[in-house]
Structure 1
Amino acid sequence: MFDLLKLVENQVLLLDGAMGTELIRSGLPPGHCPEAWNEEKPEAVAAIHLSYLAAGSRAILTNSFGGNRLKLASYGLENRAYDLNFQAARIARSVCPDGCYVGGSIGPTGKFLQPVG
């Protein structure tokens, strides 16, 4: 079993940075679903991961921050949550070398739940 606390006990674990910002820099159109690029432009997502690894990151997060059904519904992709998240993990794992780690990025739903919303 992976023990994160033991890993960082005596060393610094540098994580990656903003995936969304880098996707926009790579050409993601305004209003387009970032997670859709896991299938549409996997090479762009992989290149972003690789750039963070080359900069010294030892852990990268999947391109899945908005990969939940509620958030994906705003793009008409609510039934694609599993596939888009699976692809996000596949891409990250495919470029992650030994000694580095992949984490799943899970963002908010973007909706208030009852009794607040």
Structure 2
Amino acid sequence: MSTDHGATERLFSYGTLQLQSVQLATFGRLLAGQLDQLPGYRLERLAIRDPAVLATSGKSHHPIIAPTGCPEDCVDGAVFAITPAELAQSDACEVEDYRRERVRLASGLEAWAYVDARSRPG
């Protein structure tokens, strides 16, 4: 994985952060990432009401994940190396429906992921 820009954090994305337009709008650069999976979670859809988020992504529904506790459930995505400042920028862009949580990916890497805020912490 690239360690561009002094990255010290990992962020797992299963949705809009994989879009180049969202990366540029959020971080001002394209992110280097690698494909990975998050076991024990399922993918759902969330209706977006925030006009700024709608404008950035161009999508009325975003994916959201919730823990199931079932290892057979798995979410595909990518893990990106980012700086602590970029992680704070990402937090600022997320709507209240998401909560940032530390997760272990199928590769064994630990990363942050945005999960359904209504779910119990994994």
Structure with the larger strand share? 2
TM-score normalised according to structure 2 size: 0.29
- Structure number, greater radius of gyration: 1
Higher RCO structure (Cα 8 Å, ≥6 apart): 2
TM-score normalised according to structure 1 size: 0.30
Structure with the larger helix share? 1
